[in-house]
Structures are given as structure tokens and as C-alpha cells.
Structure 1
Amino acid sequence: MQHRFFLFPLLFLAIGILISSCIEEQNAKVLPGSTGKSGELIVVIDAKYWDSKLGKTTREVLGFEHVALPQPEPYFSLVNIPHSVFKGLFKTHRNILILSVGAGQKKLLTNVKNKWATSQLVIYISGPNTDAVIELLNANKSTVAGGFEVKERNRLRGKFKRVRDKAVSAIIKKHLNIEFSVPKGYEVAAQEENFVWIRRETPDISQGILIYKTKYTDDSTFTSTAILAIRDSITKAYVPGPLDGSYMTSMKDFQPLVKEMDFLGNYAMEARGLWRVEGDFMGGPFLSYTLLSPNKKEVVCLEGYVYAPKYKKRNYLREIEAILYSYRSE
């Protein structure tokens, strides 16, 4: 009996140690949330390389001018941090590119998610000399820039999903029979069968999304001429300007950039361009995806626009893009 009583303290001690070690292990895996502004990217590289051909190549790969915006804006806002000061809060930044050059460095490109923070993407590129790192950067432009772009979009999608407006999403489902996740703050501006216009209005900014369907006849529907013609007919009919007789239309002086792509597993055409208001002085960027429905009988058009005359437009347009990527067909 004495041996039995002696075992209880040992048993509790063992359980306590086990629980303590589990908690410590769990805490070791808990990461802080990522920091930094949307569209911002830290490039960890020493000043002598940042001011050289390697830095120039990095800026060309990630800091090039964003297409189809009314004023020049970089694709990413790059912040150079030397290796010696890359610590603390810098390590929790959302987007990090680490460039390492040295005789002992292997020529390598590696992607790591959630290295020091949640919702974080870190890309390492190393090489024995600058030419090797430059070669890797140039050979993987789409991988590097595209990786950070998709991560930015997915962060926004996750954020918007948490504040989804079920009522607005239900109206879209009712008229178009598609799933579409809309964050709170957007209101329905117009609705009818096969068409919904939603918008978010503040005193200084307007973000709008048009979703509509048309009948699919043949492949000519997916030419840039047809896409813009349909767009202009829709905006003229449904999106009025502030003055009587004014309406939204595409800016004819700027040729929209149209390309073929895979959009969430659907054949689609992406168009990026500028819009203006006929009869007024309003304008801004727009983005659209024109895709063939799964039944091959309808064309689904997803379009968003931004009006922000006092502010830069890149991040507002990325928010629109993230919402458009919430599309799901029935």
C-alpha cells in the first residue's frame, strides 16, 4: 500500500512535466501576425549590392511600373534593409526577399511560407557571385513577382471572407446563380436578372463591381473589341455620371491591355484599362475578367473600377481584384 501512495506524486509530476513540455512546444509554434503595408516588400541586401547591377535587376523584377493606372506606381513598394539590421520587427514583415551573395553560397532559390510570422512569404535567392543571383532573378521573374502577388491577393481574400456581407452575396446569387463573396461596406446600386452592380462609397473614394452575363455565340466574344464594346454598352446603360446624360465609358486614348488567362480554372480574358465619364471629368482604372461559364452557353463578366482622385490607386484596385477572385460557379 505504501508503494501505491508513493506512485501518485510521481504520476502527477510526470503529467505536469508532459503538460509543461506540450505547452512549451505549442508556444514555440505560435507565430505573430505579419506586419507591413499592403503592396510593400522588404529586400534584404547590403547597400553595395543594392546600388549595383543586382539592385537594378531587383527593382526591374519587382518595382516596375504597374500597368493601366492613371499615374505611375510601382508593382511593389520596395524597402531595402541590409543584412546587419534585418532583425526584430523586420523579420515579421509580410513580404521578404533575401538576396545572399558570397563565395560559400550555393546558387539556389527557395520559397518559405510563415517563416517568422503568419501569412508571410519569404523568398531566398543566393549565389556565389552577383551574376549568379542576377541569373536566378531573371530566370524566375514570374515565380518571384507572381508569388508575392498571389500572397497579397490571398491575404485580402481571407480578410474579406471574415467580414462577408451575406445579404449582398445572396442578391448576386439570386440574379446570376453564382457564388460571390462581398465584404461589408458594399451596397447594391442596381440589380436585375443577369446583372448586379455593387459599390463602396466614401467622401473621397469609390470602388465598384459589375457582374453580368451574356449569351455565348462564338469565340469572337473573347476579342478585345467585343469585350470593350459589351463593357461600354453596360456602363452606359447602368452607371451614370454626376450630371444629366453623363455615363461611364472606356478611355479611348488608352488602349486597354487584354490577355488570355486561366481564371480559377476557367478560360478567360483579362482586361486592364482606364475609364472616364462622358460629359464630366471623372476617371480611373478598371479591371475585368470575361470567362466562359461551365455550361458553355453563357459568358460571365466580372469587372471592378476605382475612383480615388486624391490617392494612389494600386492597392484599391488590388482589393477589387481580390473580391473578383471570390467568384465560384454553380
Structure 2
Amino acid sequence: MRSLFLACLVAIPLFSCQEKPEKQYKPASLGSLNTLAVVMDNELWEGTVGDKVREHFAAPVLGLTWDEPVLNLEHMPPSVFRGTTRHRRAVLYVGKDSVEGAQIQEDVYASPQKLAVIKATSDSALLGAIEVAADRIIAEIKAMEMEEAQERFLRSLSKDTLLKEKFGISLRLPSVYKVGKQEENFVWMDREIQKGSMNIVAYELPGNNFSSDSTLVQDIVKMRDSVGKMYIPGPDVPGKTTYMGTEKAFAPYIFPAEIGGKKAVEVRGIWEVVNYPMAGPFLTYIINDKERNRFLVLEGFTFAPATNKRDYMFELEAIMKTIQFH
């Protein structure tokens, strides 16, 4: 029965050698951002195969103040995956079958949609297939979710031109973000949320600012702390100077990146307010803009006490990745 269901549901569109039919209208996909529908038998979900799915697809996001999953997982048995339930934007099907493989198909039942299928003959083979395919599936789902978030921004864009005037850049910035502070080489935009704020800052550095890979982490922390002390003050505390710095107990995560068609460094970590008990996650892009002999810095950070912050940081990432240079 399990094999028959898989054959009817996904094997034909995913593995058929027949010519593709003409493109047909697909309904708009459904689901919250960063949510994955996991279609698999209850027995598999409750055993080691389900554990392996959770290990990868619900792994904690780097650089947050507490553990939050990369994707929210919503399990459903195959019998439920029908009708509008098939319109979920991100779907993972895991099941036993005589044919083994892992593939990702686009827009099978709705658009945009990623439908990933992992098949194998046994539990142990499924574990191995998930181990091999998970990173690629997650990357494709996250890229789709990023595009979806950026499309939603188009519903109401800010008309502010300050970033273009100061730095020669533009962002697909929702209109709820307002300029809160500007200096000669610094712009701070933010939006209010239920328990705090989401923030984006921009500034530039000389093109020779980072001279050694061996001291890159220390140089980035020094840069952030210097800018924070100059432009991002904390609450007034008698007899103390408060400002945004980098959490000293946790070294930030650093990755190579490309943003706006230029090479960059991505930095994820925790900010803190020096001399005051406040903290939260930040995401920084240090972009090597060789044409202007500068490093352009974009940073998003969230202040939201006792609140999950993954989706806030995802929105900030999506905004910053729309950067265009003029």
C-alpha cells in the first residue's frame, strides 16, 4: 500500500521518463514561512527515521539567543496529504519503496513549491539517504522562502532615498521601517514589533580596513564595538556608559558570502549592551565594494525580550539580500 501510494503521488512526476506536459495553472501555495510539511507514516515518524529528519530539518539556527529550528516541522501521514493540503509550499515526503532515491521537484501541485522525496528500501537506507540529501533540500527550501519573503515586501515599499543618497545603494525595504538616526557615515532604520524592535544599520569603511585573515574575527568585533559605542547608545544608567557591543562569551560565526553581486563576509552572533542586561541576535554583511574602494557594512539586529527571533532575523536577512548598487 505504501509503495502504491508513493507511485501514485510522486513517482510519476519525479521520476518519469515521459515528456513533460504543457505548463498548467497552479494554485498559489500555502503555509507560513520556514514551515515544512513532512509526509511520512506514523511508524517512521515516531522512530529513528523521524529522529533523523528532526536532527537535520529542525536543527538549531546559528547565532540566536536560544535554540530555534531551521524549519518548523508539521508531520502528516500520507492519507492526509490530499486536496488543498498538497498546496503547501515546502513538502518533504519520506517513505519505503523498492526504488531508492532523493529528488526535489518544483511546483508539482502549487506555485511556488518545493516537493522533496526521499525513498529507500529499509529504515537504515532511509537514514543514509536523509543524511546525504538533507543539506541540499534545506538550502533549496530556504532559498524559496527567501524569495517568497522578498516578494511580499513589494506589497508596500518604503519610498525613502536616504541609502541611495549616502551610500549609493537601495534595498527592498518595507514601508514599516523608518529612519531613526542618520550621521555623515551612518544610517539606522527600524520598525516596532510587539515586544521590541527590528533594526538595520548601514555604514562604510575604508577599503584597507581588514588586512589579515588571522585577525579577522577580532577586527570585526572591534569594528562593531566601535560603531556601537559611537552611534548606538543603550539606556541611561547613572555613572555608566552603555552602548551596543558584541557578546564576549560567544565568538561570532563567520562565513564567506556573495551579496549584491559582490564578495562579502557574513557574520552571525549575539549583541549585548555594555553595562546593561540587554542582548539579542545580529546578522552583519561586510561587502567588498572594490569599485568604490570601500567595505559597505549592513547589519540587522533584533531586540525582542522573551520572544522567538528566528523569523525576525530571517526578514532582516531577506531585506539586506535585496541590495542593489547604483
TM-score range, shorter chain: 0.7 to 0.9
1:298 maps to 294
Question: Which amino acid in the other structure matches residue 180 of structure 1?
Answer: L
For residues 289 and 314 of structure 1, the distance between their equivalents in structure 2, rounded to whole angstroms, comes to 17
Secondary structure of the corresponding residue to residue 295 of structure 1: helix
For residues 108 and 294 of structure 1, the distance between their equivalents in structure 2, rounded to whole angstroms, comes to 44
Question: Which amino acid in the other structure matches residue 88 of structure 2?
Answer: H
For residues 177 and 254 of structure 1, the distance between their equivalents in structure 2, rounded to whole angstroms, comes to 34
Matched, 1:133 2:126: yes
1:313 maps to 309
2:165 maps to 174
TM-score (norm 2): 0.86
TM-score (norm 1): 0.85
For residues 263 and 53 of structure 1, the distance between their equivalents in structure 2, rounded to whole angstroms, comes to 38
Secondary structure of the corresponding residue to residue 29 of structure 1: coil
For residues 215 and 221 of structure 1, the distance between their equivalents in structure 2, rounded to whole angstroms, comes to 14
Contact 1:294 1:329 in 2 (8 A): no
Matched, 1:186 2:180: no
- Describe the shift of the 1:132–1:266 C-alpha distance in structure 2 as closer, same or farther (beyond 3 A): farther
For residues 166 and 119 of structure 1, the distance between their equivalents in structure 2, rounded to whole angstroms, comes to 28
Larger radius of gyration: 1
Task: Choose which of 117, 120, 135 in structure 2 pairs with 1:124.
Answer: 117
- 1:13-63 per-residue CA deviation (whole Å, 9 max, x = no partner) reads xxxxxxxxxxxxx9x933332222222111111011112222111111111
Task: Choose which of 225, 230, 240 in structure 1 pairs with 2:233.
Answer: 240
Matched, 1:58 2:53: yes
Matched, 1:48 2:43: yes
Cα root mean square deviation, aligned: 2.1
Q: CA deviation at 1:116?
A: 1.9
Matched, 1:159 2:152: yes
Matched, 1:323 2:324: no
2:13 maps to none
For residues 263 and 212 of structure 2, the distance between their equivalents in structure 1, rounded to whole angstroms, comes to 12
Secondary structure of the corresponding residue to residue 209 of structure 1: strand
2:192 maps to 201
Matched, 1:215 2:206: yes
Moved more, 127-136 or 247-256: 127-136
Question: Which amino acid in the other structure matches residue 246 of structure 1?
Answer: T
Contact 2:210 2:219 in 1 (8 A): no
2:5 maps to none
- Describe the shift of the 1:133–1:209 C-alpha distance in structure 2 as closer, same or farther (beyond 3 A): same
Matched, 1:227 2:220: yes
Structure 1 unaligned spans of 5+: 1-25
Secondary structure of the corresponding residue to residue 166 of structure 1: coil
Contact 2:232 2:244 in 1 (8 A): yes
Moved more, 114-123 or 258-267: 258-267
For residues 96 and 260 of structure 2, the distance between their equivalents in structure 1, rounded to whole angstroms, comes to 38
Q: CA deviation at 1:203?
A: 4.8
Q: CA deviation at 1:221?
A: 6.5
Task: Choose which of 125, 138, 149 in structure 1 pairs with 2:142.
Answer: 149
2:273 maps to 277
Q: CA deviation at 1:95?
A: 1.1
For residues 38 and 114 of structure 2, the distance between their equivalents in structure 1, rounded to whole angstroms, comes to 12
